[in-house]
């Protein structure tokens, strides 16, 4: 395993990969001619926004080399972009590999490709080698830009190809990408994570934190806007520490202010904010720009200062509450969402009660709640004071009920108001309805014509149904809501 190819400048590497794309195109075209139809591919993405953005890049490359997108795994090339943040993410992939084996049995020339965070774990790669020899290509998170080259190697080889790097080398810019939505897009501003929360595997599989140059980010954002994008989501594991690793130091607040200057860009979102690094400068920039959505995803993880310390989060319950107070004072309309882990090793009933109390005090608009999952290689995995499963489940159910209750009350407050909604798609269940999102990320369904997709329109929120709204197009522009 590990290290192939020389270190070289990012633009030379981009050029190199374009050369491999040409080669790959010729190979694909030859096969297509032989079988009398286009070859098809299907990508299934597990995990977070970062992985979904990577998958848009992988899609761009596969289309560039001549593949056509299929609707499901019945395809000539299937790629799984994997996640390993919790054990069940891994299990889902292993489960699906069984089905892929059967599909490949009927189509022996089919290619099966695995990449993403799970592949950065040596034990996973061993298992793939030993138990899933029908997988053709495995690569990791640090070399996804190498897909064109790896594709050619795979095509010309007999056995399984594995190329995993244990750390990143260059940030390679300017490879093709195929956006899922014409009107909105994610933009990576940084990669990796240096925080080493004691439960979390992400720093091990995504590597050390590094920021992209502001000029590269702004250039990408401008190009996206020229291409019809009205909403951009800036992405990183901890956007609030953006810029710290750059030669010319800068801050996330400064970057955000620059992005907000882009003409034609109407909405800016970002994920994820670590509470320890959220600055007053950022709160000011957010409050002063209409373009920046009034939504903050601010993972709490636990409301117990003792557990937060054991988690290495580097803030206390009091810090978190003071921070959310400052945010609310500057932006009373802010939607706050969060992530919470239940059953972290050593969690007592008292710790859990503190989590419930913070949830109530902050009044989150919504929260992702997770049962603690032991990840091999992380410090917490060695701690023996694991909480019994039935206790964890009871706490989880209580937390979920509390979170839902508070979220529903928060949502009810917007009923009957008019809100600006970015129309995203025709409703999947009822084609007479459109589905869109408010500034605060809430989902709204309303009757309308597909020609509105990609536009920001005023919608009256006629009825609140817990976590989403049913609405109707409004006459006014929603300014007064």
- List of residues contacting ligand F3S (CB under 6 A): 47-48, 50-51, 83-85, 117, 202, 205-206
Of positions 105, 133, 196, 401, contacts ligand SF4 by CB under 6 A: 196
Q: Which residues of 111-124 are buried (b: 16+ CB within 10 A; e: fewer)?
A: bbbbbbbbbbbeeb
Instruction: Answer with the entry of ligand SF4, ligand F3S, ligand SAH, none that 205 interacts with (C-beta below 5 to 8 A by kind).
Output: ligand F3S
Shortest Cβ 206–ligand F3S spacing (Å): 5
Q: Which is nearer to ligand SAH, 200 or 221 (CB)?
A: 200
Q: Interior CA angle at 108 toward 152 and 55, to 5°?
A: 50
Q: Which is nearer to ligand SF4, 161 or 197 (CB)?
A: 197
* Of 284, 253, 287, the residue nearest 270 (C-alpha): 253
Peptide bond just before 272 cis, omega within 30 deg: yes
Of positions 197, 292, 327, 380, contacts ligand SF4 by CB under 6 A: 197
Of positions 184, 267, 274, 295, contacts ligand SF4 by CB under 6 A: 274
Of positions 82, 120, 141, 237, contacts ligand SAH by CB under 6 A: 237
CA atoms of 5 and 216, how far apart (whole Å): 24
Q: Interior CA angle at 317 toward 315 and 321, to 5°?
A: 100
Tell me the site size for ligand SAH, rule CB under 6 A.
Answer: 17
| Nearest position to ligand F3S, beta carbon | 47
Instruction: Answer with the entry of ligand F3S, ligand SAH, ligand SF4, none that 83 interacts with (C-beta below 5 to 8 A by kind).
Output: ligand F3S
Strand, helix or coil for residue 319: helix
Of positions 112, 137, 193, 444, contacts ligand SF4 by CB under 6 A: 193
Q: Which helix H or strand E contains 101, and what residues bound it?
A: helix 87-106
Residue with tokens 């202010």: 257
Q: Check binding of 458 to ligand SF4 (CB under 6 A).
A: no
Shortest Cβ 385–ligand SF4 spacing (Å): 20
Interaction residues for ligand SAH, span 23-82 (CB under 6 A): none
Phi, psi of 126 (to 5 degrees): -60, -45
Of positions 59, 143, 301, 419, contacts ligand SAH by CB under 6 A: 301
Shortest Cβ 48–ligand F3S spacing (Å): 3
DSSP per-residue letters across 281-308:
HHHHHHHH-TTB-SEEE---B-S-HHHH
Instruction: Answer with the entry of ligand F3S, ligand SAH, ligand SF4, none that 140 interacts with (C-beta below 5 to 8 A by kind).
Output: none
387 DSSP 8-state letter: P
Q: Check binding of 200 to ligand SF4 (CB under 6 A).
A: yes
Instruction: Answer with the entry of ligand SAH, ligand F3S, ligand SF4, none that 373 interacts with (C-beta below 5 to 8 A by kind).
Output: ligand SAH
Of positions 57, 146, 184, 274, contacts ligand SAH by CB under 6 A: 274
Q: Which helix H or strand E contains 210, and what residues bound it?
A: strand 210-211
Evaluate the CA torsion angle 52, 57, 58, 64 in order and state its sign.
positive
CA atoms of 38 and 428, how far apart (whole Å): 28
Of positions 85, 230, 359, 392, contacts ligand SAH by CB under 6 A: 85
* Of 47, 46, 57, 119, the residue nearest 272 (C-alpha): 47
């Amino acid at each position: 395993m590990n290290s192939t190819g020389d270190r070289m400048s990012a633009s030379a590497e981009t050029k190199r990969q374009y050369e491999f794309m040409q080669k790959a195109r010729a190979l694909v075209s030859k096969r297509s001619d032989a079988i009398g139809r286009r070859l098809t591919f299907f990508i299934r993405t597990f995990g977070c926004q970062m992985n979904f953005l990577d998958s848009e890049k992988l899609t761009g490359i596969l289309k560039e080399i001549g593949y056509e997108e299929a609707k499901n795994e019945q395809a000539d090339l299937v790629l799984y972009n994997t996640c390993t943040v919790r054990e069940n993410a891994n299990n889902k992939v292993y489960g699906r590999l069984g089905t892929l084996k059967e599909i490949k049995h009927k189509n022996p020339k089919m290619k099966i490709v695995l990449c993403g965070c799970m592949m950065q774990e040596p034990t996973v790669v061993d298992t793939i080698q030993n138990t899933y020899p029908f997988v053709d290509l495995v690569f990791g998170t640090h070399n996804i830009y190498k897909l064109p080259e790896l594709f050619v190697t795979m095509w010309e080889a007999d056995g399984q190809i594995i190329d995993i790097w244990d750390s990143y080398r260059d940030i390679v810019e300017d490879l093709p990408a195929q956006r899922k939505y014409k009107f909105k897009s994610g933009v990576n501003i940084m990669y990796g994570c240096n925080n080493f929360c004691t439960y979390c595997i992400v720093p091990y599989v995504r590597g050390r934190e590094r920021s992209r140059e502001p000029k590269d980010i702004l250039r990408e954002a401008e190009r996206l806007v020229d291409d019809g994008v009205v909403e951009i989501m800036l992405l990183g594991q901890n956007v609030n520490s953006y810029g710290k690793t750059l030669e010319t130091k800068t801050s996330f607040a400064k970057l955000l202010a620059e992005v907000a200057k882009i003409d034609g860009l109407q909405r800016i979102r970002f994920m994820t904010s670590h509470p320890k690094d959220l600055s007053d400068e950022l709160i000011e920039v957010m409050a002063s720009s209409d373009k920046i959505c009034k939504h903050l995803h601010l993972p709490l993880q636990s409301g117990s200062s003792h557990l937060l310390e054991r988690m290495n989060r580097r803030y206390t319950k009091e810090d978190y509450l003071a921070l959310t107070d400052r945010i609310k004072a500057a932006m009373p309309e802010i939607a706050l969402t969060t992530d919470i882990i239940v059953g972290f090793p050593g969690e007592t009933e008292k710790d859990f009660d503190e989590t419930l109390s913070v949830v109530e005090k902050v009044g989150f608009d919504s929260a992702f709640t997770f049962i603690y999952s032991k990840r091999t290689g992380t410090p917490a995995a060695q701690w023996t004071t694991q909480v019994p499963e039935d206790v964890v489940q009871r706490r989880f159910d209580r937390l979920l009920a509390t979170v839902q209750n508070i979220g529903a009350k928060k949502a009810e407050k917007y009923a009957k108001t008019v809100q600006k909604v970015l129309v995203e798609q025709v409703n999947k269940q009822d084609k007479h309805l459109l589905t869109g999102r408010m500034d605060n990320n809430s989902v709204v369904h309303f009757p309308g014509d597909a020609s509105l997709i990609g536009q920001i329109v005023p919608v009256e929120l006629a009825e609140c149904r817990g976590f989403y709204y049913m609405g109707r197009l409004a006459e006014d522009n929603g300014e007064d809501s």
